[in-house]
Amino acid sequence: MKLKDKVAIITGAANGIGLAAAERFSQEGAKVILADYDAEAGAAKEKELTKLGYEVSFIQVDVANRQSVDALIEQTINHFGQIDILINNAGITRDAMLTKMTPEDFSTVLHVNITGVFNCTQAVVPHLVKQGHGKIINTSSVSGVYGNVGQTNYAASKAAVIGMTKTWAKELGRKGINVNAVAPGFTNTAMVAKMPENIINQMKSVVSLQRLGEPTDIANAYLFLASEESSYVHGHVLQVDGGIMM
Ligand code: CAA
Ligand code: NAI
């Protein structure tokens, strides 16, 4: 098992990619905190995974709210006694063309996707430094690497995630903490299901593998970066996108 007895906090783990990661990490022996603001799905998934014999616990959190994040970290320490891995996976979209994007939708996306990642990382890092080891994995996107029509706010936020990843790699490497990012391509979750069908088809046609990613494709990349197999991978942005726009 690749993560035996490691404690992982996965934000946005009640659905989609985060949920696939929670399952994958559990299969590899991790104890997982499902951290999400969707209380209904979170509680249901905790029940389902526990029935399978996995050690998981749902904690409701709004990553954009610092007090809520501080409570998440405190409860995790109380429950599992340590934190080894943080996956900053929670994220949202509010798509619109530049000329139609409201200031509220611009700042809401930045608040969740940038401040949320900052909040969780800043709150977890003192524990990782004390232990002298830890893994932080941030979720960027192909939109943050290449830009995307209708995603001024989201592309800005996911480019910011890359900037924070590289900065934290430089700050935290000497403390024994690995920091990397995954930049998924278009992946089969509720986030993509909201897109107009013709645009989903257009996106598939520019992917070399000619299909959307599946949540487990991304979860496997998180697993690699969370495991000891990637101990010399640092400050890296791993694109998992089926070969989009190479
Ligand atoms: N490439 C090029 N041109 C595009 C385009 C694209 N991908 N999408 C739209 N356009 C063009 C349209 O053809 C149209 O052109 P004309 O003005 O010449 O007719 C113009 O842009 C306006 O398009 P719409 O009529 O669709 O405008 P709208 O205001 O009704 O909707 C939108 C705009 C909300 C952005 C809608 O097009 C949309 O939802 N697009 C999908 C955006 C997207 O890709 N989101 C990704 C979500 S998944 C995700 O975010 C995960 C991840 O990390 C990748
Ligand atoms: P999803 O919409 O299926 O799941 C996102 C989860 O995050 C939900 O459970 C939601 O409740 C939670 N969440 C949202 N805001 C939150 C907040 N403020 N606090 C706590 N939890 C919150 O999305 P998906 O597709 O699983 O996306 C996961 C991550 O992957 C996101 O960061 C997304 O931007 C990124 N991504 C997704 C891609 C895709 O094509 N699906 C492509 C590239 C990146």
Identify the pLDDT of residue 114.
Answer: 99
Identify the pLDDT of residue 18.
Answer: 99
76 CA to middle of ligand 1, Å?
40
pTM, two decimal places: 0.98
The helix/strand/coil state of 244 is strand
Does the C-beta of 49 come closer than 6 Å to ligand 2? Answer: no
Nearest CA, atom 48, ligand 1: 192
The one-letter amino acid at 85: I
Nearest CA, atom 5, ligand 1: 149
Per-residue confidence in pLDDT tens, the chain, 246 aa: 999 999 999 999 999 999 999 999 999 999 999 999 999 999 999 999 999 999 999 999 999 999 999 999 999 999 999 999 999 999 999 999 999 999 999 999 999 999 999 999 999 999 999 999 999 999 999 999 999 999 999 999 999 999 999 999 999 999 999 999 999 999 999 999 999 999 999 999 999 999 999 999 999 999 999 999 999 999 999 999 999 976
89 CA to middle of ligand 2, Å?
6
Whether 18 contacts 11, CB under 8 Å: yes
Does the C-beta of 37 come closer than 6 Å to ligand 2? Answer: yes
Q: How many CB atoms lie within 10 A of CB 28?
A: 16
Enter the tokens of residue 48: 């389902």
Q: Is 154 a catalytic residue?
A: yes
- Domains of the chain, by residue range, sit at 7-240
97 CA to middle of ligand 1, Å?
7
Helices (H), the chain: 16-27, 39-51, 66-80, 103-110, 116-131, 142-146, 152-172, 190-193, 197-205, 215-226
Candidate list 146, 154, 222, 232, residue with the active-site label: 154
Instruction: Give me the DSSP letters along 7-20.
Output: EEEEETTTSHHHHH
Identify the pLDDT of residue 245.
Answer: 74
Between strands 177-184 and 85-88, the pairing is unpaired
Does the C-beta of 139 come closer than 6 Å to ligand 2? Answer: yes
- The CATH class that applies to domain 7-240 reads alpha beta
